[in-house]
Each structure stands twice: as C-alpha cells, then as structure tokens.
Amino acid sequence: MANIAKRDKLQKQAEEGKITGRELWKGLKSTWDEMTDEEKESEFSKLAATAMGSKGGRSVSPAKQAASRLNGLKGGRPRKVTP
C-alpha cells in the first residue's frame, strides 16, 4: 500500500509541474519493482480500465465533426442558468 501512496504522490507532483516526465517514470518504475504481485495486479487492472474509459468518449466520426462545427456556428454550448 505504501507503494501506491508513493505513486500517487509522484503523479500529483508531475501534474503540478514540480517534476519532469522522466523523473516521474523513474519513480513509477522503482515503485513497480517494489510492489507485490497482488498490488501489481490491482494497479494493472486500474490502468486498463482507465485506458478503456478514456477511449470511450473519443469519437471522431465525420457526422460528429459536422455536428460540432454546426454547433460552433450557433455560438457553442449555452451557459448554465443558475436559479
């Protein structure tokens, strides 16, 4: 579990721009090497689910592109009206 906390800390630092991608990779690789098989399996399943989920909303069909352009000509998405 400590390895997962270390990984999360490294990812947060990378998102904040405090470390480079190379430093992140080195840190993640070292934590991966220290993980137990059970932790690796859990981590791998999370990464796989993330990868599949991120592809779900990326449709680049010609119909979707045309609809997006048409909506952009209309001024885009309307602002939320708060009560």
What pLDDT, on a 0 to 100 scale, did the predictor assign at position 60? 79
Contacts of 32 (CB under 8 A, 6+ apart): 3, 40, 43
- Could you please report the per-residue DSSP string of the chain? -HHHHHHHHHHHHHHTTSS-HHHHHHHHHHHHHHS-HHHHHHHHHHHHHHHHHHHHT----HHHHHHHHHHHHTTSSPPP---
What pLDDT, on a 0 to 100 scale, did the predictor assign at position 57? 64
Question: Do the beta carbons of residue 49 and residue 13 sit within 8 Å?
Answer: no
What pLDDT, on a 0 to 100 scale, did the predictor assign at position 11? 75
Predicted model pTM: 0.36
Mean pLDDT by 10 residues, the chain (83 residues): 70 76 72 75 72 66 87 84 82
